[in-house]
Amino acid sequence: MDKLGFTKENWDLFVTWVWDFLPGLISAIIIFFVGIWIINVFSRALRRFFQKKDYDETLERFLYDLINIGLKILLIVLVVTQLGVQTSSLVAILGAAGLAIGLALQGSLSNFAGGVLILFFKPFKIGDFIEAQGVSGTVKEISIFTTKLNTSGNQLAVIPNGKISNGNIINYSSEDKRKDKIEIGISYDSNIKEAKEIILDLINAQEKVIKDPAPEIYVSELGDSAVTLSLRFWALNEDFWAVHFYTLEEMKKRLKSKGISIPFPQSDVHLYAKESK
């Protein structure tokens, strides 16, 4: 017996186990690195294949991520099997681990299911401008678990697919044109007919405004301090905001130049002198 308490028989058994285990370990290491190399080569080939085909970009990215992760899981199974773990035992271990992971990662599984629903029903695609979960922006990427949006301020918003698929989605890019609504108040002393003509002349003079259906303007409210005029018109998605902001600015300028005032909320304050006793 040596200083560590091992007998010669223990050392012989240990050396025998190492020599028996070593070939499997070496094989597992070789399989792992060769497998990673093959997966990388296959992934690059898959990217080139998708680039040549005219598939939906959302579907391409989703399938690429799914296949890549699936191949890596398969590689891990092969490596563990090569180390001597029986397939039946491995299946039982994976089943138990899958149950535990599933309970611990219910949110992630919900996000995965949400990604599948987005892929299947296609409420939006990459490049669309949407609003979801209180965030609006252009869809940059739809992955297995999350959707990434580029906001108007050029921030990156990452939203779980589970919340998106179970919430309200507004897709501003699903149609090629949008209807705008601009409201402006004029004083009660102003000529309503003249104000409406000024605004209609402004909107009809713009080439980017769609003329069929024709723009409309009408009185939408008699407020406390102003008569509210509501303008409705259509514009293509790519022209929408440019027309919107230009119209807002020009409405104010032209109404003012014609003597039509745009009132603001105000209050009349009455002061009473207190009688001295």
Task: Verify that 12 and 100 share a domain, yes or no.
Answer: yes
Report the residue count for the chain: 277
Question: Contact at 8 Å (CB) between 181 and 166?
Answer: no
Residue 3, domain member (yes or no): no
Lookup result for tokens 């939408």: 220
Please tell me the total count of domains within the chain.
3
Task: Verify that 56 and 39 share a domain, yes or no.
Answer: yes
Q: Which two tokens stand for residue 41?
A: 């080569």
* ∠ CA 212-218-221, rounded to 5°: 145
Measured distance CA(25)–CA(34) in Å, rounded: 14
Residue 264, domain member (yes or no): no
Instruction: Judge residue 215's burial from the number of C-beta atoms within 10 Å of its C-beta, 0-12 exposed, 13-18 middle, 19 or more buried.
Output: buried
Task: Verify that 139 and 99 share a domain, yes or no.
Answer: no
Measured distance CA(138)–CA(4) in Å, rounded: 66
Question: Contact at 8 Å (CB) between 145 and 108?
Answer: yes
Q: What is the pLDDT of residues 185-228, one digit of tens each?
A: 999 989 999 999 999 999 999 999 999 999 999 999 998 889 99
- pLDDT, position 103: 46
CATH number at residue 52: 1.10.287.1260
Residue 20, domain member (yes or no): yes
Question: Contact at 8 Å (CB) between 171 and 130?
Answer: yes
Give residue 80's identity as a one-letter amino acid code. V
Positions in the chain whose pLDDT score sits under 70: 1-15, 17-21, 53-59, 84-108, 266-268, 270, 274-277
Give residue 144's identity as a one-letter amino acid code. I
Task: Verify that 147 and 185 share a domain, yes or no.
Answer: no
Domain membership of residue 46 as a residue range: 8-104
Task: Verify that 164 and 186 share a domain, yes or no.
Answer: no
Task: Verify that 18 and 93 share a domain, yes or no.
Answer: yes
CATH number at residue 141: 2.30.30.60
Strands 129-132, 135-142: pairing kind: antiparallel
Q: What are the counts of helices (DSSP H) followed by strands (DSSP E) for the chain?
A: 7, 9
Q: What is the mean pLDDT of the chain?
A: 81
CATH number at residue 190: 3.30.70.100
- pLDDT, position 112: 77
- pLDDT, position 20: 65
- pLDDT, position 104: 46
- pLDDT, position 227: 93
Question: Contact at 8 Å (CB) between 147 and 118?
Answer: yes
pTM of structure = 0.58
84: left (phi over 0), alpha (psi -120 to 50) or beta: left
Task: Verify that 145 and 190 share a domain, yes or no.
Answer: no
Task: Verify that 162 and 97 share a domain, yes or no.
Answer: no
Task: Verify that 163 and 186 share a domain, yes or no.
Answer: no
